[in-house]
Structure 1
Amino acid sequence: MQKLPNWQNKTNRSNIVATEPYYTGVVVALEGIKQLKRQLKIAEEEQEILNKER
């Protein structure tokens, strides 16, 4: 099974041709993943601060 980073690398190297709707969906998904990673980092930092206060 191909993982997302592999598909991204292939797309960046132009080894595969992506259709516009598919590519748009991938871009939206990647942006969502980035946002979730940022939120997770913030939540982990907040949890660490709260644990230090105890």
Structure 2
Amino acid sequence: MQTLANWQRKANQGKLKGTKQFDSELMAVIEENKRLRRELKIAQEEREILNEEE
């Protein structure tokens, strides 16, 4: 049985069937988007906490 970690490792290595269709630049943009979404979520939570203190 394949685990999600195994699937992701194979995808990152380019060994997973179907992963070659994605451009490395596209994958970089997707990862950047994920990072920015995490940062935005943190900033929104911090803003919410600060607004509660007022």
TM-score if structure 2 supplies the norm length? Answer: 0.59
1:11-54 per-residue CA deviation (whole Å, 9 max, x = no partner) reads 445534854x713212211111101110110111011110121x
| Structure 2 equivalent of residue 15 of structure 1 | 15
Report the aligned-residue RMSD: 2.7
Query: Mean alpha-carbon deviation: is it higher for 10-19 or for 27-36?
Result: 10-19
Number of residues of Structure 1 aligned to a counterpart in Structure 2: 48
2:35 is aligned to 34
Task: Give 3-state SS (helix, strand or coil) of 2:42's partner.
Answer: helix
What percent of counterpart residues are identical?
21
The unaligned stretches of length 5 or more in structure 2 are none
Unaligned runs of 5+ in 1: none
| Higher normalized contact order (CA 8 Å, seq sep 6+, divided by chain length) | 2
The TM-score, its normalising length taken from structure 1, stands at: 0.59
